[in-house]
């Protein structure tokens, strides 16, 4: 490689907005461990951007040198970036699960008014203005909570051009896939706590687009999801709730495999299920949670209001106040009167869910009911199923067991037993007087229902779009 080239590259390097970071040896940084993982990420992404440009330059040199000659010289060994297998293909970037308007069109302005420019005469600044756009891209970083570790860039008056910003995104995607393969074991042990790089970028974009004002930290870390608190901004001039909860579904975990049964047989998802990559199956969970919440909202069941869905991230209104999430029903100490009111409210919600939403919660317990403003709020409905689900009634019976036991234990004298509650919710009037027979009758009903659906299916396939109450 020529010295000339090296000089030229140096010159290019100087032109880049991050001279201090570009030079960093990513390998050396790696040694520092996970505390600096975001700085590392940023540095690595920039390094890769640099490497790519370097390779492109090499390729140009190579072409120039070889021309039409039959014998050619290859610079292959000098390349920084080597090709790698990408089995998942770019397909997984498709936003097919977004049923709402996509607020992140390219160059979407968040502070520039509709007409697309500000100022007068020569001083006009358009939404494409490099400096403005760049500052906006980086300024938003400041709105991340400390654990997001966006890096030291904050203090440096950084400018991130849209091109670099988009490049960073692409790098983080492909790099993450690559390193996920290489470091699979290591990843598993560390990814439990924080959100991963891809998620951070998506969240960063939401802040950048003004949908969220800030992201304030973690409310809950579960096996399948991480829930964060955020302050809302606006979408297309429509205000987002001031306090939001962001549910990030984990994309690396196996837990979801155990949940196949909830979704596989839900007719809304049946056709699509078999053809999907694991990541897409998780997208489907998020989509399901969104649709279920929307249905519940429509019939007036107290539950979070959906703000937006983006890949494996669901933003919804926050149930709680001043950053403090509402307590779970299992944790809250209620007066006898309140507990009794809570019971009747839950009974009513279960009935509404069944008869009006045509849904079974399927994970209803005192863990997924929050006590807020003197009433019970239902959350966590990604696994909720249609009544026609082949195991829907069994799930309903399990919900009834949880609810019945909880309220009886909490001293609500009126609380029905599980079988009575099941009949009160479903109106099915099953008469068996012990659990075994009761469940057997439930299963027989499900079987009948299934046969019926299959017979109907011969004449007409029910498609997802025809689901009765979704929008
Ligand atoms: P999972 O149990 O599958 O991890 P949940 O939806 O139950 O997911 O959320 C986990 C916890 O996060 C809840 O128990 C609750 O404390 C909190 N949480 C979830 N959504 C909200 C919300 N919209 N407002 C306030 N807190 C929430
Ligand atoms: Mn839960």
Domain boundaries, the chain: 3-89, 117-186, 197-466
Is there an atom of ligand 1 within 6 Å of 245 CB?
Answer: yes
pLDDT digit string (tens) for the chain, length 471 residues: 566 666 666 555 544 433 333 333 333 333 334 334 455 555 555 666 666 777 778 888 888 888 877 777 777 767 665 443 333 333 333 333 333 433 333 333 334 444 445 555 555 555 555 555 555 555 555 566 554 544 434 333 444 556 656 666 666 666 556 555 544 444 343 334 468 888 999 999 999 999 999 999 999 998 889 999 999 999 999 999 999 999 999 876 555 555 665 666 666 666 565 555 677 888 899 999 999 999 999 999 999 999 999 999 999 999 999 999 999 999 999 999 999 999 999 999 999 999 999 999 999 999 999 999 999 999 999 999 999 999 999 999 999 999 999 999 999 999 999 999 999 999 999 999 999 999 999 999 999 988 887 887 655 433 333 333 333
Compute the distance from residue 343 Cα to the ligand 2 centre, in Å: 19
Is there an atom of ligand 1 within 6 Å of 227 CB?
Answer: yes
Compute the distance from residue 292 Cα to the ligand 1 centre, in Å: 15
Is there an atom of ligand 1 within 6 Å of 316 CB?
Answer: yes
The CA-atom distances, in angstroms, between 219 and each of 177, 227, 334 are: 28, 5, 23
Atom of ligand 1 nearest to the CA of 320: 25
Is there an atom of ligand 1 within 6 Å of 256 CB?
Answer: no
Is there an atom of ligand 1 within 6 Å of 224 CB?
Answer: yes
The answer to whether residues 199 and 191 touch, using CB atoms and an 8 Å cutoff, is no
Q: Ligand 1 pocket test: pick from 230, 308, 370, 373 the residue with the most ligand atoms within 8 Å of its Cβ.
A: 370
Is there an atom of ligand 1 within 6 Å of 380 CB?
Answer: yes
Residue that the structure tokens 């290591």 belong to: 186
pLDDT at 89: 33
pLDDT at 68: 79
Compute the distance from residue 220 Cα to the ligand 1 centre, in Å: 7
Residue 446 contacts by C-beta under 8 Å, 6 or more apart in sequence? 390, 391, 392, 393, 394
Is there an atom of ligand 1 within 6 Å of 318 CB?
Answer: yes
CATH architecture of 197-466: Orthogonal Bundle (1.10)
Q: Please tell me the distance from the alpha carbon of residue 244 to that of residue 229, in angstroms, as a whole number.
A: 6
pLDDT at 398: 98
| 68 belongs to the catalytic site | no
pLDDT at 16: 44
Nearest alpha carbon to residue 358 among 249, 247, 466: 466
Longest CA–CA span in the chain (Å) reads: 93
* Ligand 1, atom 10, residue with closest C-alpha: 220
Ligand at minimal distance from the CA of 325 is 1
Q: Please tell me the distance from the alpha carbon of residue 52 to that of residue 50, in angstroms, as a whole number.
A: 5
Compute the distance from residue 320 Cα to the ligand 2 centre, in Å: 15
Q: Please tell me the distance from the alpha carbon of residue 319 to that of residue 316, in angstroms, as a whole number.
A: 9
Atom of ligand 1 nearest to the CA of 226: 4
Q: State pTM to two decimals.
A: 0.63
- Catalytic: which of 39, 196, 363, 399? 363
* Ligand 1, atom 18, residue with closest C-alpha: 227
The answer to whether residues 197 and 176 touch, using CB atoms and an 8 Å cutoff, is yes
Is there an atom of ligand 1 within 6 Å of 323 CB?
Answer: no
Atom of ligand 1 nearest to the CA of 223: 4
pLDDT at 191: 39
Ligand at minimal distance from the CA of 241 is 1
pLDDT at 54: 75
* Ligand 1, atom 15, residue with closest C-alpha: 220
Is there an atom of ligand 1 within 6 Å of 248 CB?
Answer: no
Query: Using the 8-state DSSP alphabet, how is residue 349 labeled?
Result: H
């Amino acid at each position: 490689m020529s010295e000339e080239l090296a000089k030229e590259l140096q010159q290019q390097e100087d032109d880049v907005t991050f001279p201090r970071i570009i030079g960093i040896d990513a390998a050396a940084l790696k040694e520092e461990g996970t505390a600096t993982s975001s700085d590392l990420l940023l540095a690595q992404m920039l390094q890769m951007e640099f490497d790519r440009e370097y390779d492109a330059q090499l390729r140009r040199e190579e072409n120039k040198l070889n021309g039409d000659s039959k014998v050619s010289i290859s610079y292959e060994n000098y390349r920084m970036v080597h090709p790698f297998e990408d089995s998942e293909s770019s397909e997984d970037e498709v936003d097919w699960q977004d049923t709402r308007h996509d607020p992140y069109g390219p160059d979407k302005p968040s502070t520039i008014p509709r007409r697309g420019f500000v100022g007068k005469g020569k001083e006009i600044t358009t939404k494409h203005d490099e400096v403005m756009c760049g500052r906006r891209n980086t300024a938003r970083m400041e709105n991340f909570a400390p654990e997001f570790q966006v890096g030291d860039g904050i203090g440096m008056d950084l400018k991130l051009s849209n091109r670099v910003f988009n490049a960073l995104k692409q790098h983080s995607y492909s790099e993450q896939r690559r390193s996920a393969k290489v470091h699979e074991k290591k990843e598993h042990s560390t990814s439990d706590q924080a959100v991963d790089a891809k998620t951070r970028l998506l969240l960063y974009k939401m802040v950048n687009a003004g949908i969220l004002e800030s992201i304030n930290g973690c409310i809950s870390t579960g096996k399948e999801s991480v829930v964060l608190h955020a302050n809302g901004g606006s979408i297309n001039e429509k205000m987002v709730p001031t306090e939001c909860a962001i549910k990030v579904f984990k994309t690396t975990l196996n837990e979801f495999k155990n949940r196949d049964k909830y979704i596989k047989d839900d007719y809304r998802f049946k056709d699509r299920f078999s053809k999907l990559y694991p990541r897409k199956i998780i997208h489907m969970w998020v989509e399901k949670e969104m649709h279920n919440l929307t249905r519940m909202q429509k019939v007036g069941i107290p539950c979070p209001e959906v703000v937006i869905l983006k890949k494996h991230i669901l933003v919804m209104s926050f149930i709680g106040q001043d950053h403090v999430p509402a307590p779970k029903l299992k944790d809250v100490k209620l007066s006898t009167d309140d507990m009794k009111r809570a019971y009747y409210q839950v009974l009513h919600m279960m009935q509404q869910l069944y008869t009006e939403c045509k849904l079974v919660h399927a994970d209803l317990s005192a863990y997924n009911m929050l006590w807020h403003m003197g009433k019970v709020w239902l959350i966590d409905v990604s696994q909720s199923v249609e009544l026609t689900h082949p195991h829907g009634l069994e799930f309903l019976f399990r919900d009834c067991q949880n609810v019945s036991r909880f309220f009886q234990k909490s001293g609500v004298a009126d609380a029905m037993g599980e079988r009575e509650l099941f009949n009160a919710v479903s109106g099915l009037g099953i008469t068996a007087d012990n659990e075994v027979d009761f469940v057997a009758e439930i299963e027989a009903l499900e079987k009948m229902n299934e046969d019926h659906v299959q017979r109907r299916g011969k004449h007409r396939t029910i498609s997802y779009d025809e689901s009765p109450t979704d929008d």
